[in-house]
Amino acid sequence: MKNKNKLKLLLITCCCLCYFYSFSQTYIGVSLGRDYAHTKAAKNVNVRNIIHFKISDKGYSIKSFSYGIELEQVVSDRISISLQSSFTHKDVNAFIFNYIPFVEINFDYYRHSLLVNTTVKEHWILGGGGSFGMLTNINRVLKDREENIPYLGNKKEAGALAYVGYRYKGLSVKLSYYGGLKLFSPERNTNKITPIQSINISVNYRLKILNKIRIGGRKVGCPAMD
Point out the least confidently predicted range of 73-82, 149-158, 187-196. Answer: 187-196
**Residues 69, 163: Cα–Cα separation, whole Å:** 16
pLDDT digits (tens, 9 = 90+) for 13-33: 555 555 555 456 889 999 999
**Neighbour tally for 63: CB within 10 Å:** 13
Which domains, ranges and CATH numbers included, belong to the chain? 25-213 (2.40.160.20)
**Residues 73, 211: Cα–Cα separation, whole Å:** 11
Point out the least confidently predicted range of 24-38, 101-115, 149-163, 179-193. Answer: 179-193
Secondary structure letter of residue 41 according to DSSP: B
54 Cβ contact list (under 8 Å, min separation 6): 41, 94, 95, 96
> For 124, phi and psi rounded to 5 degrees?
-80, 140
% pLDDT > 90, the chain? 43
**Residues 141, 79: Cα–Cα separation, whole Å:** 46
End-to-end CA distance of the chain: 47
Q: Is 204 helix (H, G, I), strand (E, B) or coil?
A: strand
pLDDT digits (tens, 9 = 90+) for 127-164: 999 999 999 998 888 776 666 777 778 889 999 999 99
**Residues 109, 66: Cα–Cα separation, whole Å:** 9
**Residues 214, 182: Cα–Cα separation, whole Å:** 45
